[in-house]
C-alpha cells in the first residue's frame, strides 16, 4: 500500500511538472541558432568583493577566503542550466560518430536510487522522458560536462550565420559564476535583493530544502575545547519536518526533486536558478556553487561553494551551465 501511494505521488508530481512547464514555455525542440544566441546573457567587465561575512563557517562547505576584490573580463553565460533535452541531443550526435564515446558520456541515472526511497521512475525516465526534457541534467561528471562544452563549441563554430565569430564554451570559473550570480547587486548575499528566502507574498525564491521553523529545536552535545577537555555545548537541529515537495503549504514552493530550468524569477542579468535547483560545476575541479533542491538555504549563498571528491563523482543534486568566452 505504501509503495502504491508513493507511485501515485510521483505520477501526480510528473503531471504537475508537465502542465506547469507547458504553460510557461515551449519544450526544447533541438538546436536553433537564433534561440541559442538569445539564451546567452552578457556579463560586462567588472570588479566585485568575494569572500566570507561574519557568520560561522560549517566544516563541510567553504567560503571564498580570504575576502578580496577581484576583477573579471566580460563574458556570456547561459541563462539556464543545461537541460536533459540539450544533453540528449549531444548524446545522439555522439552515437552517430563513436558508440564507445557515446557510452562514456551517458549520465549515471542510478544517482536517483536511494535505499529508503522509491525513485525508480526517475532512474528510468528522468533523462529521456519528454516530461523532463527541460529539467536540468544530473548524474554527469566533471569530465562529461567539459566534453559537452567542447562539443558545443564545435557545433556553434560550424554555424556560418553565427553572431560571434571566434568563441569557446567552457564551465564557468568560480569568480565568473559568483559575479554573474550577484546580478548587479554587489552586496546581496543571494542572487536576489535582500536576505530573505521568500518574497512579500510568502513565495519561496528558489528550489531548495525548506526547513519549517516548527521543526527546529535545541539540543546539547559534548565537544572538545582548546584544552582537549569535553564540554557541553548547545546546538540547533531539525526534528525532521521538511517542506520540500510540490504539495507544500509554502506558497510557490519547489518540487520533490529538480524543477524546469526556467523556474522562479531570474536575477538582474536574466539568469535562472543561480540559487537552488542543482548545484553547478565550476571549471575549478571538485567545486560547485549555488546549492541544490536538497540543500538548506545557507548553501544558496553566492559566496559559498561545496566540494566533491573525484572527477568521476556524480550526484542527483549536481548539474552545470556554461559560459562563452572570446578567443584572443
Range with the largest mean pLDDT of 2-16, 104-118, 205-219, 274-288? 274-288
Q: How many Å apart are CA 240 and CA 257, to the nearest integer?
A: 18
Residue-level pLDDT at 137: 98
- Contact between 256 and 294 (Cβ < 8 Å): no
Residue-level pLDDT at 239: 66
- Please tell me whether residue 86 adopts helix, strand or coil conformation: helix
Range with the largest mean pLDDT of 26-40, 109-123, 135-149? 135-149
206 has a pLDDT exceeding 90: yes
| 75: Cβ contacts below 8 Å, ≥ 6 apart | 43, 176, 323, 324, 325, 326
Q: Tell me, which fold does domain 27-106+136-209+262-326 have in CATH?
A: 3.90.1580
- Contact between 134 and 21 (Cβ < 8 Å): yes
- Which one is predicted more confidently, 99 or 29? 99
Residue-level pLDDT at 91: 98
115-139 average pLDDT score:
93
Bridging pattern class, strands 40-43 and 75-78: antiparallel
87-93 average pLDDT score:
98
- Please tell me whether residue 6 adopts helix, strand or coil conformation: helix
Inter-axis angle of helices 84-97 and 142-157, nearest 10:
80
Q: At 100, is the pLDDT very low, low, confident or very high (cuts 50, 70, 90)?
A: very high
Hey, what's the cell of 205? 525564491
- State the CB neighbour count (10 A cutoff) for residue 262: 17
Measured torsion, CA atoms of residues 59, 60, 66, 67, in degrees rounded to the nearest 10: -110
- Contact between 218 and 288 (Cβ < 8 Å): no
Q: How many Å apart are CA 139 and CA 315, to the nearest integer?
A: 5
Residue-level pLDDT at 221: 82
Q: How many Å apart are CA 105 and CA 110, to the nearest integer?
A: 14
Output 58-62 pairs: Cβ under 8 A, ≥24 positions apart: 58/298, 60/306, 61/298, 61/299, 61/304, 61/305, 61/306, 61/307, 62/304, 62/305, 62/306, 62/307
236-243 average pLDDT score:
61
23 has a pLDDT exceeding 70: no
29-41 average pLDDT score:
95
Phi, psi for 171 (deg, rounded to 5): -70, 150
Q: What is the mean pLDDT of the chain?
A: 84
How confident is the model over 257-303, as pLDDT tens digits?
A: 999 999 999 999 999 999 999 999 999 999 999 999 999 999 999 99
Residue-level pLDDT at 240: 57
The DSSP code for 2 is H
Hey, what's the cell of 139? 548524474
Hey, what's the cell of 236? 540547533
- Chain-centroid distance of CA 207 in Å reads 9
Taking the domains of the chain in order of start, what are their residue ranges? 27-106+136-209+262-326
Hey, what's the cell of 115? 535505499
Q: How many Å apart are CA 184 and CA 176, to the nearest integer?
A: 13
Q: What is the secondary structure of 150-161 as a DSSP string?
A: HHHHHHHHT-TT
Amino acid at each position: 500500500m505504501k509503495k502504491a501511494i508513493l507511485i501515485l505521488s510521483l505520477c501526480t508530481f510528473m503531471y504537475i511538472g508537465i502542465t506547469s512547464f507547458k504553460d510557461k514555455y515551449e519544450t526544447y525542440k533541438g538546436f536553433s541558432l537564433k534561440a541559442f544566441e538569445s539564451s546567452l546573457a552578457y556579463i560586462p567587465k567588472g570588479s566585485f568583493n568575494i569572500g566570507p561575512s561574519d557568520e560561522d563557517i560549517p566544516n563541510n562547505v567553504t567560503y571564498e577566503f580570504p575576502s578580496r576584490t577581484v576583477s573579471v573580463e566580460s563574458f556570456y553565460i547561459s541563462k539556464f542550466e543545461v537541460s536533459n533535452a540539450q544533453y540528449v541531443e549531444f548524446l545522439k550526435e555522439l552515437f552517430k560518430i563513436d558508440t564507445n564515446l557515446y557510452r562514456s558520456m551517458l549520465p549515471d541515472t542510478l544517482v536517483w536510487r536511494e535505499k529508503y526511497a522509491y525513485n525508480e521512475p526517475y532512474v528510468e525516465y528522468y533523462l529521456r522522458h519528454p516530461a523532463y526534457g527541460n529539467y536540468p541534467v544530473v548524474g554527469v561528471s566533471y569530465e562529461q560536462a567539459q566534453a559537452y562544452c567542447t562539443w558545443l563549441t564545435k557545433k556553434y563554430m560550424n554555424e556560418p550565420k553565427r553572431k560571434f565569430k571566434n568563441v569557446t564554451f567552457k564551465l564557468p570559473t568560480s569568480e565568473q559564476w559568483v559575479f554573474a550570480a550577484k546580478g548587479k547587486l554587489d552586496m546581496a548575499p543571494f542572487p536576489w535583493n535582500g536576505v530573505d528566502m521568500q518574497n512579500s507574498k510568502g513565495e519561496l525564491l528558489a528550489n531548495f530544502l525548506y526547513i519549517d521553523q516548527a521543526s527546529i529545536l535545541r539540543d546539547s552535545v559534548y565537544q572538545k575545547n582548546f584544552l582537549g577537555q569535553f564540554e557541553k555545548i548547545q546546538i540547533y537541529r531539525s526534528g525532521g519536518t521538511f517542506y520540500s515537495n510540490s504539495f507544500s503549504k509554502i506558497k510557490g514552493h519547489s518540487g520533490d526533486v529538480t524543477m524546469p530550468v526556467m523556474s522562479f524569477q531570474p536575477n538582474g542579468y536574466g539568469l535562472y536558478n543561480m540559487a537552488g535547483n542543482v548545484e553547478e560545476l565550476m571549471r575549478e575541479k571538485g567545486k560547485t556553487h549555488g546549492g541544490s533542491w536538497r540543500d538548506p538555504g545557507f548553501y544558496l549563498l553566492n559566496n559559498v561553494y561545496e566540494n566533491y571528491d573525484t572527477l568521476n563523482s556524480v550526484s542527483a543534486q549536481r548539474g552545470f551551465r556554461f559560459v562563452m568566452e572570446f578567443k584572443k
